[in-house]
Copies of this chain bind each other. A is one copy, B any other.
């Protein structure tokens, strides 16, 4: 079943058939109707390989997911897939380990798959600085800001991590907390972690709160297990604190568990705040206080921007999506 058969069936030439199938002008309504009808009846499927070989262009968009244990990305991928499904493009998703170089990997995948664009879910600017030069198709970095990076083909849509985590700390300070520890990411390797840390520090400075980055900060991976371990370590070190901020909900959940295992109650003994706003957080015990990211907006804007750029209808841009601090049950006023 090729356009040749279709041509034979309808009496037109392959040229006309091709034009009809692709909605090109210069084909009579009679011809178009007849051909489309025949195609439909015969269940004709255009051969993508032949098309792409001829046109020297694929139809695929790459999604590179960095750090698979962060459930936020799971939600994002789902949203992205839904947006893309309504377009002519197709999606290829690749999950990378948290400490792989996502840009190097993307370069390699671009050579191999020749996609029209790529969506990076997470990433760190150092990798972009050194390796992104090899990529010349439109890309967008999701959940990280790339406005400081000197690439004309790299957009970004992200939450303002500094403001968001500053707000988180502010909220806890407003509750009367002054003794903080942070379960964060590795700031030498994750921009997100660095920015969220920076947001915390701003709040601390603004409120004259003492914070020792060597003693009160643990930089680990974004997972339940690491959140748990980091909290254990903080506890073992003998630091005294009434508030714990975890820069991801998964870590916060691990942290709460560790606190419990050490006989500490949440929020009575220590308040815990997470980051991301996973649905799960509404069902945990206690319900997780968190700063929520706008997952759907993040996803939709990312694919809109990417497609605009792929289709040459726009330049690269850097957008910020809203966040909100949700005070649920894992935080409370100091002393009750």
Binding site for B on A (CB under 8 A): 43, 45, 47-50, 52-53, 58, 68, 71, 74, 78, 81, 90, 92-95, 111-113, 224-225, 228, 253-254, 256-257, 260, 279-280, 282-287
Contacts and interface: CB of A to CB of B under 8 A. Distances in A.
A95 B78 contact: yes
A254 B228 contact: no
A80 to B, nearest CB: 10
Contacts of A111: 43, 45
A50 B256 CA distance: 55
Closest 4 CB pairs of A and B: A49-B53, A257-B283, A49-B49, A49-B52
A90 B112 CA distance: 11
A45 B280 contact: no
B45 A112 contact: yes
A283 B228 contact: yes
A148 B50 CA distance: 40
Given A45-B111, A256-B283, 19 more contacts: A45-B112, A48-B49, A48-B113, A49-B49, A49-B53, A53-B53, A71-B74, A81-B94, A92-B92, A224-B283, A225-B279, A228-B283, A253-B280, A254-B283, A257-B282, A257-B285, A280-B280, A285-B285, A285-B286
Nearest to A252: B283
A50 B94 CA distance: 24
A81 B53 contact: no
B284 A253 contact: yes
Contacts of A92: 90, 92
Given A68-B78, A285-B256, A224 B45 contact: no
A287 B285 CA distance: 10
A69 to B, nearest CB: 8
Contacts of A48: 49, 112-113
A285 B256 CA distance: 8
Given A93-B93, A253-B283, A283-B224, A53 B45 contact: no
16 contacts: A43-B111, A50-B53, A53-B53, A68-B78, A74-B74, A81-B95, A90-B92, A228-B283, A254-B283, A256-B283, A256-B285, A257-B282, A257-B283, A260-B285, A280-B280, A285-B286
A149 B260 CA distance: 48
Contact of A224 (B52, B78, B93, B282): B282
A228 B48 CA distance: 45
A224 B280 contact: yes
Nearest to A278: B224
Chain B CB within 10 A, most for which of A50, A53, A78: A53
Nearest to A85: B94
A233 B58 CA distance: 51
Contacts of A52: 49
A283 B95 CA distance: 24
A268 to B, nearest CB: 13
A107 to B, nearest CB: 11
